[in-house]
Amino acid sequence: MEEKYIELGGKRVFYRHEVGEARENVLLLHGMRFTSRNWAEIDALRKIHQWGYNTYAVDFPGFGLSEENEKYIFSSADYSPSSLFVKDFCEKLAINRVIIIGPSMGGAIAIRSIIDFPGLVKEIIVIAPAGFEALRGDLYRIDGQVHIIWGSEDSTIELSFGRRYHDLIAGSDLHIIKGADHVHYLKKTSQFFSLIKKFLYDE
């Protein structure tokens, strides 16, 4: 795994990656209280890369080792600046037709990204995504595969929101992990990776 910086909008952006000759690309986004380091700690980049994907994990502006940037300022009322960041990051690194995996805040940004940039985002895998009220009016516009994962014991964002996302996103699928909480992907890693692998291999 390599760690690098690029410049976007005049500010430094930190990211990690595992890349090779793969044609497919996976981008890992993080939640509000987390960074790309959390994906590295569970060895997500290496694991997904071994399945045949170029894999990237980025720190959003103002999070982790990335500098704050007014162009991409985060707002839970409007995820569009964050989806623009995803687009610009992918374009900077020549990442095409990306599959995005994101929990909570990162999941909401993944949803906004597939709405705003359907030509860029091929598929999303979201883990208890936040932002339902901010996104609900545009969910009908999604044209791409959406996998939704939720822990049955999530006390941060209730499972009822998972069902509402599933109802409003045509063609989506909802997978409920029994007994799991909001950050189960960092705790029940074997179960999480098994599910992710199934999604990716079913393509």
Beta-bridge partner residues of 5? 14
The identity of residue 64, as a single letter, is G
Q: What is the DSSP letter of 136?
A: G
Q: Tell me, rounded to whole angstroms, the distance of Cα 147 from its chain centroid.
A: 11
Bridge pairing between strands 11-18 and 53-58: antiparallel
The identity of residue 86, as a single letter, is V
Tokens of 200: 């990716």
Q: What is the DSSP letter of 67?
A: P
Residue 84: name the closest of 72, 66, 75 by CA. Answer: 72
**CB 166: neighbour CB atoms within 10 A?**
15
Q: Are 165 and 138 in contact (CB under 8 A)?
A: no
pLDDT tens readout for residues 70-95: 999 999 999 999 999 999 999 999 99
Residue 102: name the closest of 202, 175, 35, 18 by CA. Answer: 35
Q: Are 108 and 99 in contact (CB under 8 A)?
A: no
Beta-bridge partner residues of 188? none
Of the options 2.60.40.10, 3.40.50.300, 3.40.50.1820, 3.30.390.10, the CATH number for the domain spanning 2-201: 3.40.50.1820
- Per residue of the chain (203 residues), what is the pLDDT tens digit? 999 999 999 999 999 999 988 889 999 999 999 999 999 999 999 999 999 999 999 999 999 999 999 999 999 999 999 999 999 999 999 999 999 999 999 999 999 999 999 999 999 999 999 999 999 999 999 989 999 999 999 999 999 999 999 999 999 999 999 998 999 888 888 889 999 999 998 75
